[in-house]
Structure 1
Amino acid sequence: MARTRFVGDAGLTARMTLVMFLLGALFVGLVAVLMGVFAQSGSPGIALLIGVGGLGVVWWQWYSSDKVAMRAMGAREVSPEQAPELHGMIDRLCAMADMPKPRVGVSDSHVPNAFATGRSPDRAIVVVTTGILRTLDAEELEGVLAHELSHVAHRDVLVMTVASSAGILAGMLAQGSRYGMFFGGNRRDGNNALPVWLLVLLVSLVTYAISFLLLKVLSRYRELSADRAGAYLTMKPQALASALQKITGEINTIPDRDLRASKSMNAFFIAPAIKGVSLKTLTSTHPSLEQRLEQLAKIQAELGRPTG
């Protein structure tokens, strides 16, 4: 990662590194188990082909992440002439962070939100909705943009895409094993042995479940890290806290139809477009609002202490 002025967090980095290691080990373990299963059925090379295919899908998701996300939100790239205030704010934040400026986009959506995506800082784009532009004041919007720029600087799209490789491969295998079920599949040696498709299905489901939970943990760490980095960059953690409260409150007034339309982007948003549910669960992509506000309050108290 290129060096920037975003503050680090050794504890969060260590936890994210541990989760990434576990997800990597899960991917390697899945391929190893599959090689053993297919070896007994006389086709050991199938596991390697599946692994390569899974990595190919992961690569494509990473490579086309900006186009897919923009299309999902109906967003458009805007020039400095079209959105001078927004560009000016991002220019200032990028200069403060000593990082290259990403492209800037706007989505015509009532849902107040923002996200960053792109396979690298050079291909990144930060997108805000028209809803968030109407909801937040300048300081609050600056806090949100600093959060999103932290994701760009830390290459979080790459991190989350690579981390999802085990789950993607497991999902592909679970789908593929259904064809083995329909066509009878191959049996392992022994009259009482389970069919290969059933073994693959069981291994895939277990792998997917573990990967799913680990990814949610990693995503929550990633959001806390971006909150922290953005707050220290602007030195206004209270502005980001106010923005999160406004966004969450406004989302609760948005019709369910509009929220469902942006559901696929929840993992990317600064706050998930979910109404009336608790985020204090193992399956949430974001920390609870209370946890985020608590961290920002601690940063505010730290910044307010006299030095020396």
Structure 2
Amino acid sequence: MRTRFAPDRGLTGRMLATTFLLGLLYVAFAGALFVLLKSAVLAVVIAGAALFAQYWFSDRIALFAMHGRTVTPEEAPQLHGRIDRLCALADMPKPAVAIADVDLPNAFATGRSPAKSVVCVTSGILRRLDGEELDGVLAHELSHVAHRDVAVMTIASFLGVLAGLIVRFGLFAGYSGALGAGRRRDDNGDNVAVLVMAVVAVSAVVYAVSFLLIRALSRYRELAADRAGALLTGQPSALASALTKITGEMSAIPTRDLREAQAFNAFFFAPALAPGVALTALLATHPPLEQRLTQLSDLSRELGQES
């Protein structure tokens, strides 16, 4: 889909490199499974079904989980007006608009394609941000829609889902075999046990590596969306202000609510982290706040604005 969102060749190159590594990992994993099992049809079918459901129903699943509902222009005229203007600037079709009635200040975009996408904001973010800050957040989310980030991340996660399922199947099979070990002590039983453990070990390594690669891809797409959204509005400082304000306001949200929302961090504009939760850079879904603010400050200077 053609839009006026500015490309970022450096970040795009890093995302392509990460995706290429995921592809190589998938090929190696498929080869190892073929050598070990000669067939992995059941796991592939189940993982494929999970991937299809996540891809096809991602907008409904995310809205249901966050208690969001789509709103009409009559119900939220100002929010629709802002998205209308930003979509016109970006030369892209308008997504559905939703509001989640929760105090957590955040926003997210989901959907398998620009034509089937939703941009959702929480009532908490609407109360806390001014107009320019909200425009920056909405432009960030529209960049995710324009670049089909939800579809990219869903497809990229297929290998991790598959490996995770095989690990679970293998551990269950190993547990079942342990229960029957007293009844069967032949060489064939030992060979099956060794094969199961080999598959579990390979799958666990693949799951761990793919998890780290997907998290890296997620961080790259957040930086790309920050840059594209800031260039679209021409106000990097407003987006930086929104980031700072939302991160600071997280401390006022009950810890229980933050922990419940952490499962959706990959969707969010800013991660919901409860006090005391520390994630290493390799495990985070989003870049550090300082890195995002530094990028926006550099962009302000590029545009001849004060940092």
Distance 1:303 1:229 in 2: 13
Percent of aligned positions with the same letter in both sequences?
55
Alpha-carbon shift at residue 4 of structure 1 (Å): 0.3
Distance 1:285 1:179 in 2: 30
Distance 1:298 1:272 in 2: 23
What are the Cα deviations for residues 216-238 of structure 1, in whole angstroms up to 9, with x where unaligned? 11000000000000000000000
Counterparts of residues 183-262 of structure 1 (less than 5 Å): 183-184=176-177, 195-262=194-261
State the SS of the aligned residue for 1:116: strand
State the SS of the aligned residue for 1:128: strand
Please name the residue that 1:41 is paired with: none
Alpha-carbon shift at residue 252 of structure 1 (Å): 1.5
Which of these residues, 159, 165, 189, is aligned with residue 166 of structure 1? 159
Distance 2:281 2:188 in 1: 43
State the SS of the aligned residue for 1:184: helix
Please name the residue that 1:85 is paired with: 78
Aligned residues: 298
Distance 1:263 1:292 in 2: 20
Which of these residues, 139, 150, 153, is aligned with residue 157 of structure 1? 150
- Provide structure 1 residue ranges, at least 5 long, that are not aligned to the other structure: 39-43
Distance 2:280 2:202 in 1: 28
Distance 2:60 2:250 in 1: 25
Distance 1:191 1:208 in 2: 26
TM (norm. structure 1) is 0.92
Amino acid at match of 2:99: V
CA contact (8 A) 1:188 1:196 kept: no
1:126 aligns with 2:126: no
Distance 1:198 1:150 in 2: 43
Cα distance change of structure 1 residues 279 and 232 upon mapping to structure 2, 3 Å threshold: farther
CA contact (8 A) 1:31 1:48 kept: no
Distance 1:257 1:57 in 2: 29
State the SS of the aligned residue for 2:138: helix
Which of these residues, 103, 110, 117, is aligned with residue 110 of structure 2? 117
Amino acid at match of 1:79: T
CA contact (8 A) 2:140 2:230 kept: yes
Alpha-carbon shift at residue 151 of structure 1 (Å): 0.1
Instruction: Output the aligned Cα RMSD.
Output: 1.9
CA contact (8 A) 1:35 1:48 kept: no
Please name the residue that 2:281 is paired with: 281
Alpha-carbon shift at residue 278 of structure 1 (Å): 4.8
Alpha-carbon shift at residue 279 of structure 1 (Å): 5.3
